[in-house]
Structure 1
Amino acid sequence: RAEDGQITLGLTTRNGSTSLPFVIAEEKGFFKSEGLNAIVVIMQNQVVVNGVVTRNVDYGGTFSNFVGAALSGLPVRIVMSAMDGSDHYLVTASNIKKVEDLKGKTFGISSFGGTPHSEAIMILRKYGMNPEKDVTFLQIGGSSSRYTALESGSIQAAMLLPPFNNFAKKRGFNQLMSFNDIMSIPLGGLSVHTQKIKEKPDEIIRMIKAVLKATDYIRNRKSEILSFIEAKWGIKEGDVRESIYRDMVALFSRDGIASDETMKNVIQLVRETRKSKDDKTLADIVDWSLFCLKLITRLVNSAENNSRRK
């Protein structure tokens, strides 16, 4: 566990669009401006969930794994959504031109029940394939690890986030589709142990404010973010950076609340992946009610507008 007073935020990678608001909040001082000594810690997807459940990790930055954990009855709640849609792309080996060509191939995922796994199952079913029989799923880790596995040839397909799908396209891999073209689901966010909601609601509100401020910074400081993408993600081509920026900014949540429709989509996705029945409701999975997120957003936007007028 982190030293006393230090808040740990578990992510699967520092690079990539879903991680960006949290990394910017850390690097640009938005956590500190809210009086928070918060650090980003990189770990495997399931380790993030287990860490929050055991209270060794304060906040989880992943999403569908926490939906699955809540559906299982574990004491976790999602308290903020970072993105209103998925920017995962189905990327395949150069000899795989269509989804049906994946029969008999190995598909890299972060973890069983994670977002990339659920998305892969949905795509395969949509194209008339049997995910259990037609492909072999291999747990590898975040987009960075899946991209490396794709490069090495140990897998033939993966759902990848920017910039890794861009790296793959440059190396001759095929990008077959964006999952967002099939279904809108929330991606990334803040999840906590239910006990933290009772014990430290003020801390959670300040974490949410910091991430929303970071998202606002990303939206309004395009040139700085393009430079960040070049320096930290290694994207040298200006047109590729522009494309990544445009696509991800369109998906970032403005108020931190996922719509009921997108939540129903992700719950359906996770239930189909887990193949288990439960009687959980939305209130068992998310908790928007404790925090006036709309008010927080207005305060953030008001502060931004005031600073621009000066």
Structure 2
Amino acid sequence: MSSPADSSRGSMRAELATRTLMGLLVVLISFVPAQAQGAAVAPLRVSYPAPTATQLPLWVAKEAKFFVKHGVAVDLVYVGSSSIAIAALFSGQLAVVAGGGVGGIASYLQGYRDLALFGSLNNRLNFFVYAQPSIVDAAGLRGKRFGVSRFGGVGDFAARYFLKRANLDPRKDVSFLQVGSQSEMTPALVRGAIEGGVVSVPQNFTVKKLGFRELADLTQSGARYASNAFLAKRQFLIDNQGRMEAFLKALIESIHFIKTKRLEALSILSRYTRTTDPEALNITYNEYEDLTAVLEQQAETNPKALEINPAELIYDGLMENVVRSGFVKQVYH
């Protein structure tokens, strides 16, 4: 028959054994990878530069849950300034910058070499040139004020491209004004603050309805420009290969959705562009990588741009893997 002292010692030994086992479990758990422990992976934060039609595949991938389908969490963030978006990319606040072609190349030229473009939603200039009704052709812009969203951006390039083709010198023949965003271009024309400017889809429909004169449709110009390229840190792309391939697969399915489910795509387009006019939305829907032009633009202020091989700025391994997997054929068969 055991004594009370024996029972007490037995309880202490059992408690000590339990504590030892718990300690061992804590140590073992500390060596298990975070993902195996069920730790949530932070969403990819992806910025887009403007609420325009070229961003529709991103919006559809989010709203139609293609990102979720492919197991990648994505937060879309509207950042209207390329310089702010690039700074956020450097600081780790963003993982991807959509429309990062111009800002990315400018940063690359400044020595930030861990940057790469890994895809693009558009390789043409989705802009129109509009002017006051009294201006009947490009020559009428000489000596006038010409609006762009931001200096050094895609719209700025589109404006200079148009003026050069019209035998005007962008540096001498017009006065450029920075209006801030595409949504500000129409009010600037209405106020008479500018005589001409570049507008994107669907703003072109609005200014046309207001009676302004279309001088050029740059979507038909044949110019190739990486106007909506995806920019990220090269090492990030390497370290997150699986997630980024899933990101691209979601976009591929999104584009297929846009082409085959018109009404649903129009609904998403309306929500993000805040456009409710059915005619404008249909025109926008129907509108639906070359780096050489971007480098030439940068060379106007930094001659070293022409010394760069565009291939240095491209990381195509992700898309090559997606294509080799047969995924594109599977979606579009």
Amino acid in the other structure paired with 1:30: F
Segment drifting more, 158-167 vs 99-108: 99-108
Q: Kindly indicate whether the alpha-carbon contact (under 8 Å) linking 2:245 and 2:318 is maintained by their aligned counterparts in 1.
A: no
Amino acid in the other structure paired with 1:89: F
Aligned to 2:320: 292
- What CA distance in whole angstroms lies between the structure 2 residues aligned with 1:236 and 1:137? 31
Aligned to 1:140: 179
Structure 1 residue 189 corresponds to structure 2 residue 217: no
Spell out the pairing of 1:1-310 with structure 2 (5 A cutoff).
5-13=42-50, 15-43=51-79, 44-62=81-99, 63-74=101-112, 75-182=114-221, 183-230=223-270, 232=272, 233-238=274-279, 240-248=280-288, 258=289, 262-272=290-300, 274-278=301-305, 279-292=307-320, 295=323, 298-303=326-331, 305=333
- What CA distance in whole angstroms lies between the structure 1 residues aligned with 2:155 and 2:239? 33
TM superposition outliers: structure 1 runs of 4+ over 6 Å: none
Deviations 1:194-220 (A, max 9, x none): 231232222221221222221111111
Note closer, same or farther for the CA distance 1:228–1:10 as it changes in structure 2 (3 Å cut).
closer
RMSD, matched Cα: 2.5
SS in 2 for 1:35: coil
- What CA distance in whole angstroms lies between the structure 2 residues aligned with 1:139 and 1:59? 26
C-alpha deviation, 1:79, in angstroms: 0.5
TM-score, scaled to structure 1: 0.82
Q: Kindly indicate whether the alpha-carbon contact (under 8 Å) linking 2:249 and 2:327 is maintained by their aligned counterparts in 1.
A: no
- What CA distance in whole angstroms lies between the structure 2 residues aligned with 1:27 and 1:195? 29
Aligned to 1:254: none
Note closer, same or farther for the CA distance 1:231–1:201 as it changes in structure 2 (3 Å cut).
closer
C-alpha deviation, 1:290, in angstroms: 4.5
C-alpha deviation, 1:114, in angstroms: 1.0
Q: Kindly indicate whether the alpha-carbon contact (under 8 Å) linking 1:71 and 1:285 is maintained by their aligned counterparts in 2.
A: no
C-alpha deviation, 1:168, in angstroms: 0.9
Note closer, same or farther for the CA distance 1:20–1:290 as it changes in structure 2 (3 Å cut).
closer
Amino acid in the other structure paired with 2:299: R
C-alpha deviation, 1:165, in angstroms: 0.6
Q: Kindly indicate whether the alpha-carbon contact (under 8 Å) linking 1:78 and 1:190 is maintained by their aligned counterparts in 2.
A: yes
Note closer, same or farther for the CA distance 1:229–1:4 as it changes in structure 2 (3 Å cut).
closer
Q: What are structure 1's unaligned runs of at least 5 residues?
A: 249-257, 306-310
Note closer, same or farther for the CA distance 1:218–1:142 as it changes in structure 2 (3 Å cut).
farther
Amino acid in the other structure paired with 1:8: R
Q: What are structure 2's unaligned runs of at least 5 residues?
A: 1-39
- What CA distance in whole angstroms lies between the structure 1 residues aligned with 2:292 and 2:241? 26
Deviations 1:103-145 (A, max 9, x none): 2322222322211111211221222222122222223333223
Percent identity, please. Answer: 20
Aligned residues: 288
C-alpha deviation, 1:297, in angstroms: 8.3
C-alpha deviation, 1:28, in angstroms: 1.5
- What CA distance in whole angstroms lies between the structure 2 residues aligned with 1:218 and 1:147? 28
- What CA distance in whole angstroms lies between the structure 2 residues aligned with 1:266 and 1:292? 23
